[in-house]
């Protein structure tokens, strides 16, 4: 009997993400974050195809950060899973079999005996590719038939473009023009708790959300609404999970949708307030971090923790913040010291003598440093 149960479990189909819950909120922006390979992108692509054939007849815009992601093989493979499952044939009632990519556009198509695509560039156009890094090239073009926008992988542990949110808004403006019938999906894996879009869109609660929850943001008297869903962990026990079974907490992002955090060094020794010889502050992503230079048993290091009270002396304390300030004691980049004290502060980062209250603090400071290096 137990053997039969085991076989039965193995044949059980894994669950994948569904848009059903977030669509009930009828929001203009739909922000969906969760584990990799849980079906987020698949669900939006399928939704767009269904809307084309059985809904509003609208086309799809696919937005990525870099132009390399919407060219060549990367672009051609966007619909691979959709095509493997025969979704185009099902949703088009047999009218089309596939989707063909050519020169920044995607066309519904059929295939001849040699599997070469057959399509009409005027009547079979379905989707358009956009890259934020090449926003300027599309400003003069009209896209009146686009009614669904997909911005995939908007969260990154890599580099955001300068003023990326503005580039994104410019792209949205280029597409929607004077219309209000466009639905926008922003999909992200839980790879980084810091994302400039969160602050720019006023998504103040996103980092405290529980998996499976949906928050809806409104903006005064404006009809604008943003729904944010933190996907439930599907607990599929996917076959591929065997490759990620190592005892490494960062892998939970891949298999469960937990936020990815690096492992950062914690304080190696106990110390008292009398061991602190200098204090400065870093303000990043709405949080104040207190940075203490400690001398203990003949050794020196920096310890950084969250400050739970307001700054006491903003006119004299050394403060690092990405925001511009006219005050001489404020600096945007820790990598551009303007006096001897700031040089000594930077030294501890250069020789890896910085320790953190916890991994979340370490991750926040690491995100600040990555931005500060480029200033």
At residue 11, the pLDDT reads 47
CA nearest 276: which of 255, 260, 291, 258? 291
**Three-state DSSP class for residue 222:** strand
Residue 130 to residue 151: CA distance in whole angstroms:
9
Question: What average pLDDT score do residues 59-79 get?
Answer: 94
Summarize pLDDT for 179-218 with one digit per residue, the tens: 999 999 999 999 888 999 998 999 989 988 999 999 999 9
Contact 49, 88 (CB under 8 A): yes
Strands in 8-159 per DSSP E? 29-34, 59-64, 98-102, 105-111, 117-118, 125-131, 146-152
User: For 71-79, which contacts have Cβ atoms below 8 Å and span 24 or more sequence positions?
Assistant: 71/104, 71/129, 75/101, 75/104, 75/129, 76/101, 78/45, 78/106, 79/45, 79/106
Residue 347 to residue 341: CA distance in whole angstroms:
10
Summarize pLDDT for 30-55 with one digit per residue, the tens: 999 998 888 999 999 999 999 999 88
Summarize pLDDT for 113-160 with one digit per residue, the tens: 999 999 999 999 999 999 999 887 777 788 999 999 999 999 998 889
- Mean residue pLDDT across the chain: 89
- Residue with more model confidence, 205 or 240: 205
Domains present along the chain, CATH in parentheses = 2-255 (3.40.50), 273-372 (no CATH)
């Amino acid at each position: 009997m137990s053997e039969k149960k085991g076989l039965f479990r193995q044949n059980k189909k894994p669950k994948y993400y569904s848009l059903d819950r977030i669509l009930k909120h009828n929001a203009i922006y739909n922000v969906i974050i969760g584990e990799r390979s849980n079906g987020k992108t698949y669900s939006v692509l399928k939704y767009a195809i269904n809307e084309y054939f059985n809904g509003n007849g609208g086309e799809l815009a696919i937005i990525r950060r870099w132009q390399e992601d919407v060219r060549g093989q990367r672009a051609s493979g966007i619909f691979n899973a959709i095509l493997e499952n025969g979704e185009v044939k099902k949703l088009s009632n047999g009218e089309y079999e596939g989707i063909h990519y050519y020169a920044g556009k995607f066309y519904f198509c059929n295939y001849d005996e040699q599997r070469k695509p057959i399509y009409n560039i005027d009547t079979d156009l379905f989707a358009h590719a956009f890259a934020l890094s090449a926003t300027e090239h599309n400003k003069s073009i009209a896209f009146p038939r686009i009614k669904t926008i997909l911005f995939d992988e908007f969260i990154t542990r890599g580099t955001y473009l300068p003023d990326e949110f503005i580039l994104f808004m410019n792209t949205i403006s280029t597409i929607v023009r004077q219309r209000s019938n466009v639905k926008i999906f922003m999909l992200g894996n839980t790879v980084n708790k810091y994302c400039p879009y969160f602050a720019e869109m006023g998504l103040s609660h996103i980092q405290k959300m529980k998996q499976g929850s949906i928050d809806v943001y409104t903006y005064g008297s404006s009809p604008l609404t943003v729904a944010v869903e933190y996907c439930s962990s599907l607990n599929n026990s996917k076959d591929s999970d065997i490759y990620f079974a190592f005892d490494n907490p960062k892998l939970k992002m891949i298999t469960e949708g937990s936020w990815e955090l690096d492992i950062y060094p914690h304080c190696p020794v106990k110390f008292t307030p009398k061991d602190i010889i200098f204090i400065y502050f870093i303000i990043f992503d709405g949080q104040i971090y207190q940075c203490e230079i400690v001398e203990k048993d003949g050794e020196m290091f920096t310890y950084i923790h969250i400050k739970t009270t307001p700054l006491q002396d903003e006119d004299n304390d050394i403060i690092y913040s990405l925001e511009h300030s006219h005050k001489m004691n404020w600096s945007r980049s820790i990598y551009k010291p303007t006096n001897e004290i700031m040089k000594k502060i930077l030294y501890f980062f250069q020789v890896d003598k910085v320790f953190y209250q916890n991994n979340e603090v370490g991750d926040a400071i690491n995100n600040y440093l990555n931005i500060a290096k480029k200033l």
